[in-house]
Structure 1
Amino acid sequence: MNQDHLEQIKKSIITVPDYPKPGVMFRDITSLLEDPTIFQLTIDVFAAHYKDKPIDKIVGTESRGFIFGAPLALALGLPFVLARKPGKLPRAVVAQNYDLEYGQDCLEIHQDAIQEHDRVLVVDDLLATGGTVEAVVKLIRTLGGHVHHCAFVVSLPDLGGQKRLANMKVQTMHLCEFAGD
Structure 2
Amino acid sequence: MDIKDHIRGIADFPKPGILFYDISTLLAHADAWQVAMGRLAHAVRKYQPDILAGIESRGFLVAAPLALKLGCGFVMLRKRGKLPGKTIRHEYSLEYGSDIIEIQEDAIQPGQRVVVLDDLLATGGTMAAGVELLRQVGAEVTGAATLIELNFLSGRRKLEALDVPVTSLAAYDE
TM-score, normalised relative to structure 2: 0.95
Q: 2:148·2:168 contact (CA, 8 Å) conserved in 1?
A: yes
Shift of 1:52: 4.4
Q: Which residue of 1 aligns with 2:145?
A: 151
Which of residues 10, 20, 28 is equivalent to 1:16? 10
| 1:161 has 2:158 as partner | no
| 1:123 has 2:131 as partner | no
Which of residues 101, 104, 113 is equivalent to 1:110? 104
The 2-side partners of 1:134 and 1:49 are apart by 19
Q: Which residue of 2 aligns with 1:44?
A: 38
The 1-side partners of 2:4 and 2:158 are apart by 24
The 2-side partners of 1:53 and 1:163 are apart by 19
Post-superposition Cα deviations, 1:52-83, rounded to whole Å, max 9, x if no partner, equal 43211100000000001000000011010000
1:84 alignment partner, SS class: strand
Q: Which residue of 1 aligns with 2:25?
A: 31
Post-superposition Cα deviations, 1:66-123, rounded to whole Å, max 9, x if no partner, equal 0010000000110100001111111111111122332221110011111111110011
% of aligned pairs identical? 43
Shift of 1:29: 0.9
2:120 alignment partner, SS class: strand
Q: Which residue of 2 aligns with 1:76?
A: 70
2:100 alignment partner, SS class: strand
Number of aligned residue pairs: give it.
174
Q: 2:44·2:145 contact (CA, 8 Å) conserved in 1?
A: no
Q: Give the residue type in structure 1 aligned to 2:53.
A: V
Q: Give the residue type in structure 2 aligned to 1:117.
A: G
Aligned ranges for residues 124-139 of structure 1 at < 5 Å?
A: 124-139=118-133
Q: Which residue of 1 aligns with 2:136?
A: 142
Q: Give the residue type in structure 1 aligned to 2:162.
A: M
| 1:63 has 2:71 as partner | no
The 1-side partners of 2:137 and 2:122 are apart by 25
2:159 alignment partner, SS class: helix
Shift of 1:24: 1.3
Q: 2:47·2:142 contact (CA, 8 Å) conserved in 1?
A: no
Q: Give the residue type in structure 2 aligned to 1:124.
A: D
2:148 alignment partner, SS class: strand
The 1-side partners of 2:46 and 2:127 are apart by 23
